[in-house]
Amino acid sequence: MSSLPFLTKPAFAIAIEHLTRHVDTYSSHLSYEVKTSTFDKEDVYLEITRMVSSTPVENPTTAADEGDGFDVDIEDDEDDPESLLPSLSSMSPTHKVIYTITLSPIYSVPILHFTIAPLPPLPPTPVSLADVYELLVPAPRREELGRLGVQGGISQGEHPYTGRTVWFVHPCRTGEVLREFGEDLKVEGYLGVWIGVFGGVVGLTL
C-alpha cells in the first residue's frame, strides 16, 4: 500500500517496470538496466547511462526556465527528447554519466544518484562539483540550484547499494513538490513525472 507521493518497495518496483516499458516504446535511445542490490533482491533500482559533451553551447534550449521552473509535461519531452539539453548529436561525447534511481527508505521517494567519468583522451581525473554544474546543470537553473543547502542542491555521498562515491540531488523536498500533482500522480506514471521534475536539473530526460 502506497500513499503517493510516497512509495513502498513493491510500488517502486512497479513504477520502474512502467517506466522501462514507456522507454522501450517511446525513448529507445535511452540506455538503461534494471538492477538489484547485491544484498537484497527486493531492492530494485534503475541505472541509466548517457554520454555528454563538455563543449560549450551557445543559448542552450531548456524548457525548465519557463513558467514556474518545473516543466513536467512529458508529452512535450517525447516530441523532442533532447529539449532540456543542449543538442548532443553534433558533438562527440567527452563524459559518460551513469545515473541510478533508487528508493530512499527514509524519504520514501526516489533519489537520483550519478557518477561522471571523463572519456579518453581526457585524463581519468574525477570531476569537481563545479564540473558537475558545468557538465549537467542547464545554465538557467544553476543559480536556483546553487542557493539550496550548504553548497547547493547537489552533494557527494555514498551509493546506498554499491557503497561507491556518487553525486546526488537532494531529495528532501521531492514529496512536497510531487504532492502538488494530487490525483494526477499514479504509480504507473510516477517516474516519468519524477524525471520530468527532478531529472532535467542534472541532464536526465526521457
Partner 1 sequence: MADAVRRAVWDGSIPFKVMLDPSECRIFDKADPYYFQADRVAYLPFYLPRIYKFFEDFLIDKAVATVENAWFEVDNAPLRWHWPIGLLYDFYTALDPTKTPTLPPTNHDRPGSPPLAADLEPGAAPVPWTITLRFASYPHDFLTTLTPTSTHDAFINSIKEADFSRNGTAKAVMSLSPSDTRELFASLQDHDYNRFWGVTDKLLNHSGITVKNIPIRIYNPETGQVIQGSVPTRQPGTIRGDAQTLGTALNSLVPIIFPSKRSVVLARPVMHGIVLPLSAPLLELMREAMYPDGFLHITLAMM
Q: Is 151 in the site for partner 1 (CB under 8 A)?
A: yes
Is 135 in contact with 116 (CB distance < 8 Å)?
Answer: yes
Binding mask 22-61 for partner 1 (x = CB under 8 A): -----------------x----------------------
Please identify, using beta-carbon distances, which residue of 18 and 159 lies nearer to partner 1.
159
Q: Is 10 in the site for partner 1 (CB under 8 A)?
A: no
Residue of the chain from 10, 158, 180, 186 that contacts partner 1 (CB under 8 A): 158
Q: Is 170 in the site for partner 1 (CB under 8 A)?
A: yes
**Element at 44 (helix H, strand E):** strand 44-52
Angle 30-32-37 (CA atoms, 0-180°, nearest 5)?
160
What burial letters (b/e) apply to 12-51, b meaning 16+ CB within 10 Å?
bbbbbbbbbebbeebbeebebeebeeeeeeebbbbbbebe
Site residues (CB under 8 A) for partner 1?
Answer: 39, 104-108, 126, 128-129, 149-151, 155-158, 160, 163-165, 170, 172-173, 176
